[in-house]
Structure 1
Amino acid sequence: MKQMAAKEVEILLDGGKTLNIIDVREVDEVAAGKIPGAVNIPLGLVEFRMHELDKAKEYIMVCRSGGRSGRVTQFLENYGFNVIDMAGGMLAWEGKVE
């Protein structure tokens, strides 16, 4: 499973890179703040919404601490998606939130 540090994600975003970030936290958790541009697909809905994802794109998975995003990264990898787990989740995020 590929991982990326929260700081690396922040540096890429600050440099103007467009990233496909999926936040798998619950709606109430995301309401407290998410990475700008991240799409919220709660963990329990990923299996039912993965048809919305493009296997040709790379996705960075995010949750609160890294546990859920790690599980969903492995799950999506098994279906042939190009996914990266953001290590440490939002607890490690020091960048802007919306």
Structure 2
Amino acid sequence: MDWPSTAASADAVIIREKTAEGLQFVVYGKHGPQFMCGTYVAAEARALSYAEQASACVWYADARGLQLVGSFMRPPSGSAPPRPSRRSPLRSS
């Protein structure tokens, strides 16, 4: 697999491939395959768990192109976390 130009080095890419075990969803990192799963749901869950820890994105690649599955980006160091809104609650009439 050629690493997509839009994916960062810490990102994960899910691809459906024919393997010795049959059709599998293979999760790739920049330096090669990381693990295989029998279902897309399992591959997505494992890839998203990794991405959350790595502050990275998860992509799904198929014949149509690259689709963003999820993104876990931390705010830059030293920036304040988002503040809750102070608007008054909605009232029904």
Report the TM-score when normalising by structure 2. 0.34
Q: Which has the higher helix share?
A: 1
Which protein, 1 or 2, shows the higher relative CO under an 8 Å CA cutoff with sep ≥ 6?
A: 1
Q: Which has the higher strand share?
A: 2
Report the TM-score when normalising by structure 1. 0.33
